Structure formats: structure tokens, C-alpha cells
Amino acid sequence: MMTLSTRVAQLLGPLYPDEEVKVLADELIEIMRLVPGGPEPEPYCNQWDEKDLFVISYADTLLSDARLPLENLNHFLGHYLAECISGVHILPFFPYSSDDGFAVIDYYQVNQSVGDWPQIREIASRFDLMADVVINHCSSRSGWFENFRQEKSPGKGYFVEADLSWDLSTVVRPRTSPLLNPVQTLSGERLVWCTFSPDQVDLNFANPEVLKEFVAILRFYLEQGIRVFRFDAVAFVWKVPGTPCINLEQTHILVRLLRLLVEHQRPDAIIITETNIPHRENLAYFGNGNEAHAIYNFSLPPLLLHTLLTGNCRHLRNWLMTLPPARNGTAYFNFLASHDGIGLRPAEGILSDGEIQQMVTAMDAFGGRISYRGRSGGQRSPYELNISLWNAMAGTAKGEDEWQLARFLCAHAIMLGIEGIPALYIHSLLGTENDHERVANSNHNRHINRHKWDYARLLALLADAGSHHHQVFEGVKRLMAIRRAQKAFHPNATQYTLQLGNELLGFWRQSPDREQSIFAIHNVSDQPQPLPLSALNLIDTETWSDLQSGMELADLQATLTLQPYQSLWLSNRA
């Protein structure tokens, strides 16, 4: 078997053809503090099961005068969610200059306004902690960038400097801001590459010194108890003029390299790639089971939203049928909403332009905002729907109706049931509404779904049975608790999509030990729908019941009627 050093060197070769890759490999192994000849991580091993479920939150979502925001978050997780979740993704908690944390000033510090490393380590001791590795860019106010301008190390050579002669006509952009921005250095003006904003300057991974920095950062995070790493915007990380500069082969090699180093330091560590791109390109980040352990299932949010807006699950059903089962050691990371909006690029090639525009129109009517991206020829197209999930479920394409709560719970029943690891954005779990005030104050569309709660007021609303916040919280928590007890909802359990018409979305899950089957059926329309149980071919020698209601099926040839947005989890194991 090849040594770790040899394997690292083989991956470094295509990235740094002019470097002594054996020397660089040994440096990286030393930075990660790996012991040569140490135990090998078990290949194709699932580091998760049906009990795994994440909540996504900013560090400062819950505010009070009495405690630091991270202490409030820890209190909320421990007192209100401990029985429902296994992990928490705390969005960037570092000092930053813009983009709510994604323009990192210092990767080694915690933003003092939210807490410090002891609070992070406390949460990591109780839950699986996911942290962002903002790998594509850092803040223009970082020490690295200031050193770049002063031509000092560390920082000199750390950023992508562009030349006007470069062919950048095919570069894929997620923003409409200028790609290249002029900055003054000791040697005069330089053009630096900024994929996302002038304050977020792209790092130059073609310089191996940048790679060394991030290996050291990963090692430091592991030492703080962080187990799960979200590689933010990693698809854009490698640049080659004359190409789209997205999803390049060098990027995939880089992910493989970092995974190899991380899993040798902590075998149960998990790397998740955040690649908000069309579906087929996203799947490529599984590699051959040697890149991301998990990928964000970015197509799910827009397809599920379209399904519930139209009362027609055709596109979602067809997509589920073509979703390749994740091999052991890999998993989908499922979500419906996040700190960003509902991305539309992952629906490209699945929904038509007219169907996407239908969603844009509906979300605008429900108080949402629309973000656009630039395209060649000066054109722009919808890139993201910015809206709270609660408001997104206010009605259908016909307008608002009385089914908002039922529709909202149906959406979560679908997400919690399909293959993969589920993650719930805290504002969805709380039923938070559009925050128009934050948008007005910041002129930033994404702030519509980044509300900051007064913690005491939130707890009062969650205790008020008449509040929709209470109803959402208790309803979704109940679904989460049921899900975690079902082996058939293991992230890698077998899944087959059922053909029940366009108004009923159904799929069958079977546990890895084949002892439990669950038929998950959901009425995605605003009208009652018949469900002939004979269409499911339930084994009549077993006892079947609905895990959500407790209803036992006495007659397997009967026809049930599902009310608007009702869902069933029919199981042969209570």
C-alpha cells in the first residue's frame, strides 16, 4: 500500500507541476500533525445514521442582555432541541467586514460580539459542530490582504492578480458586481479577482503557501472540536483564464487532497461541499467516494417549492427518480431554506424559464425579493429567491390561502423523509417571517431571512399555543423526533419513487437491515386526494400504521382520503 506521503504527493502533482511535491506533501502532513504509518480511515464508512439531523443558525440569531449570543444558542439547543437534533451548523462566527460573516478578517478568531472559543468548544462537546471553511476568498480588510498590498508575507502572492489580456469572457458569475477590482500596492495598481464582491478577494490556491495556510486552519478547527467542515463556494476556487473558472478539475483534486489530510487526523470528520450549481455538476463533488462526504441537495428547495405552488409533483417526482443513490460513505445534505435564498440555478434544465418565472412572481406576491446574476452580453437572470420559508408557503400560484401551516409541515415531512441527512434553518424551525426592516436598513436582499430575535420574546411566542411560531416549532419538532426513531430513514436507506399521480408524492424507504419499510405519501395539492392502498402493494401479513397519527390500517384494500397537504408515513414497525 502506498504511504500517505506518496498519496498526498500524487494529488499535489497536477496542482503544482513546478514544485517539489514530495517535500510539499511532507510539509502538509507535518502541518496537520499526522503520524506516518498511523491507522487508515475505513473506506466507504457511513459516519451518520437516522438520528443525524442538523440545525443551521448564525451565532447571533438569539440576542439578550444577560448572555452572549453563543451562550443563548447553546441554551436554546440544549433546552429545546436536544432530543431532536444531533448537530448544529454555526454560520461564520469569525471577525468579518461584510456578507454577514463570509468576508473573513481572521480565520483563527471568534467575533468577540458573539463569544469566544470556549463557547464554541462547549457547543462542540454537546453536538456535532459544523463550521464554515470560507475557502474561496477572504476580506479586503484581512491581515493577509493588507500584507499583499504592502508586498509582505504572509499575504504576498496570496490573491489572484489578473491581467487585462486574459480571456475572461466565459467566467461564470453568481453576482453582477465587477469581477476585477483595482487596488493600490507598493508596486502600483493591481487588478484582483473578486467573484462575489469587492470586499471578498479571491485567494490564489495556485500558490502552495495558501494551501499550507488552509491545512493549518483545518487542523486548528479540529483542535477546537469541530467535526464537520462546510467548504463554502468551493466550486470557484481555481482559476484558469479562458475557462468558466468553476468546477475545474484542479478544484476536485483540491477537495480530495484536503479530505485525505482531514480524515487521517480525525476519521469521523465530514467534509460537505457548498456548490450552488446545476444538479449534474453538483453530483460530481462526490468524486469516486473520495471527495465530499456529503453534498448540499440544492435542487430540492426550488423543486419542492414549485411542487407546492402548483399542486403538481411531476418535476420533483421525476428528479427523485433520477437521483442516484449515494454510495456508502457519502450522503446528500437535504434542506429547504438557508441563510441564503432559494437558489434557482439548481433547477436549470429541470424547470422551464416560464415555471421559474411563475415562482418569481409568486414569491414577489408573498413579500419576497429576487436576486439576479449577470450573464454574457450584459443579460441577467433570476439567481435566487429571497424570502422566509414561512412566507414562501403562504399560498399557491393562485394566491394566499388558509393552508399555510399544513403546507409548511408537508414540505418538512417530505424533506425529512427522503434519502440524505436533513438540516433545518433555525428561522424555518421558528416560523420567522420576512424581515423587511433589515432589508430596508441594509439594502441587502438576503437579510429578509436573517432576522435577529430577542431571545426572551422568542421564548414567549414559542410558549403561546395561539402563535404560529409555537405551531410551527412543535409541529416540525414532532416530525423530527419521529424521523430519528426510524431505521428506514437512515440517510443511505433504499429509496424508490412511487407513481401515484401528480397530486400525491410518494416514495418507499427500506432500512439497511431490511426490517423496516416506510411508505411516505404526501398530498401536495389544496384539494382532498384519494389514496387506494392497493396501489402500494403493502404486505398483508404485516401490521401497517401511520407513524404521524398512530392510525392502524385495518383494511389494506381500502381507499384513504388525504386532506390538503396531509402526509402519511406508513410503516410496518410502530
Q: How far apart are CA 151 and CA 214, in angstroms?
A: 20
Give me 498's grid cell: 412511487
| Catalytic site residue from 52, 99, 199, 232 | 232
Q: How far apart are CA 370 and CA 356, in angstroms?
A: 12
In single-letter form, the type of residue at position 207 comes to N
φ, ψ of residue 366 in degrees (nearest 5):
-90, 15
Q: How far apart are CA 499 and CA 194, in angstroms?
A: 46
Opening angle at CA 488, ends 483 and 492, nearest 5 = 105
Q: How far apart are CA 9 and CA 25, in angstroms?
A: 5
* Residues β-bridged to residue 374: 380
Q: What are the strands, taking DSSP E only, across 97-179? A: 128-134, 137-139, 161-162
**Angle subtended by helix axes 4-15 and 249-265, to nearest 10:** 160
**Closest residue by Cα to residue 286 from 328, 233, 321:** 328
Q: Which residue has the cell 467516494?
A: 289
What is the 8-class DSSP label of residue 445?
G
**Closest residue by Cα to residue 411 from 568, 565, 570:** 565
**Closest residue by Cα to residue 227 from 260, 262, 258:** 262
Give me 81's grid cell: 432541541
Q: Are 228 and 272 in contact (CB under 8 A)?
A: yes
Q: How far apart are CA 358 and CA 62, in angstroms?
A: 35
- Work out the number of other CB atoms within 10 angstroms of the CB of residue 263: 21
What is the 8-class DSSP label of residue 50?
T
Q: How far apart are CA 275 and CA 123, in angstroms?
A: 26
What is the 8-class DSSP label of residue 30?
H
199 annotated active-site: no
Q: Are 297 and 48 in contact (CB under 8 A)?
A: no
Helix (H) or strand (E) holding 406: helix 404-417
* Residues β-bridged to residue 504: 523
What ranges in 197-311 are assigned the alpha helix state H? 208-223, 249-265, 279-283, 300-310
Q: Are 309 and 398 in contact (CB under 8 A)?
A: no
Residue 216 to residues 29, 44, 210, 258, Cα–Cα distance (Å):
10, 26, 10, 11
Residue 204 to residues 160, 237, 292, 473, Cα–Cα distance (Å):
5, 8, 21, 44
* Residues β-bridged to residue 56: 89, 425
- Would you please indicate which residues are annotated as catalytic (active-site) residues? 232
